[in-house]
């Protein structure tokens, strides 16, 4: 898998950052849930007082549970980063499995194994969705435009440049054949005439030499 940049704080600062963020998320989410439950289960006329009491009693406990989970997860993640010398989606997946297993270890190995499998699967789903959303929201690469007077590259050259290059190559080949092979076999001028398409010029010097 390719490496993924989550934009997180470097280790070990991310441990404290994740502990605080997890506590806030758990406290706020647990407070909202217990607000609804306390108001729903309260006797008539005591809905507000019962909801406030439920928030005061349950929100810190839920926030503490989230903070423990977030702290263990970040600690395992930083340990994997230090051991593997890279950050990729495998680090959070393994960290989620290790965190789930460590939190359920007091209930026995079977319970810890089930919790580890669930934690690893949950983090794998989260990482997969994150990678998919990153690829879907990534901007397309800019098109390569042909620059006038720029460097001659394979993608930016037009048909005119290609035809000019072919003509230049043909002329160079004709001159080379005329200068080397033409002196030996006398066929250089014929190649030049065929490549240029112009009529052959009479060779007065050769005729004079024959007459002499």
DSSP per-residue codes, 30-75: HHHHHHHHHHHHSPTT-HHHHHHHHHHHHHHHHHHHHHHHHHHHHH
pLDDT digit string (tens) for 155-192?
444 444 445 454 545 454 444 444 444 444 444 444 45
pLDDT at 114: 92
Q: Of all residues in the chain, what percent carry a pLDDT higher than 90?
A: 22
In order of 53, 62, 181, the CA distances from 48 in angstroms are: 9, 21, 106
pLDDT band at 116; cut points 50, 70, 90: very high
pLDDT at 136: 87
Cβ distance 89 to 81 under 8 Å? no
| pLDDT of 88 higher than 60 | yes
pLDDT at 202: 55
- Residue with the bigger pLDDT between 164 and 126: it is 126
The structure tokens 């495998």 sit at: 90
- Residue with the bigger pLDDT between 146 and 208: it is 146
| pLDDT of 121 higher than 90 | yes
pLDDT at 47: 85
What is the average per-residue pLDDT within 77-83? 90
Where is average pLDDT lowest: 85-89, 122-126, 156-160?
Answer: 156-160
DSSP state of 105: G
What is the average per-residue pLDDT within 108-128? 91
pLDDT at 10: 75
| pLDDT of 61 higher than 80 | yes
pLDDT at 1: 42
pLDDT at 46: 84
| pLDDT of 117 higher than 60 | yes
- Residue with the bigger pLDDT between 188 and 35: it is 35
| pLDDT of 110 higher than 50 | yes
C-alpha–C-alpha distance, residues 4 and 112, integer Å? 28
Q: Of all residues in the chain, what percent carry a pLDDT higher than 70?
A: 64
């Amino acid at each position: 898998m390719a490496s993924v940049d989550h934009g997180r704080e470097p280790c070990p600062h991310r441990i404290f950052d994740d502990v605080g963020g997890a506590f806030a998320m758990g406290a706020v989410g647990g407070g909202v849930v217990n607000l609804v439950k306390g108001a729903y289960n309260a006797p008539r006329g005591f809905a507000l007082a019962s909801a406030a009491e439920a928030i005061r009693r349950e929100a810190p406990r839920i926030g503490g549970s989230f903070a423990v989970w977030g702290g263990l997860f970040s600690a395992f993640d930083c340990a994997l980063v230090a051991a593997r010398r890279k950050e990729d989606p495998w680090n959070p997946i393994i960290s989620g499995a290790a965190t789930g297993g460590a939190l359920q270890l007091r209930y026995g190995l079977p319970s810890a194994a089930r919790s580890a499998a669930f934690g690893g699967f949950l983090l794998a789903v989260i990482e997969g969705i994150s990678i998919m959303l990153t690829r879907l929201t990534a901007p397309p690469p800019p098109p390569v435009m042909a620059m006038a007077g720029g460097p001659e590259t394979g993608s930016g050259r037009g048909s005119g440049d290609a035809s000019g290059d072919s003509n230049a190559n043909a002329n160079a080949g004709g001159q080379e054949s005329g200068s080397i092979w033409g002196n030996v076999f006398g066929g250089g001028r014929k190649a030049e005439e065929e490549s240029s398409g112009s009529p052959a010029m009479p060779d007065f010097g050769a005729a004079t030499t024959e007459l002499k």
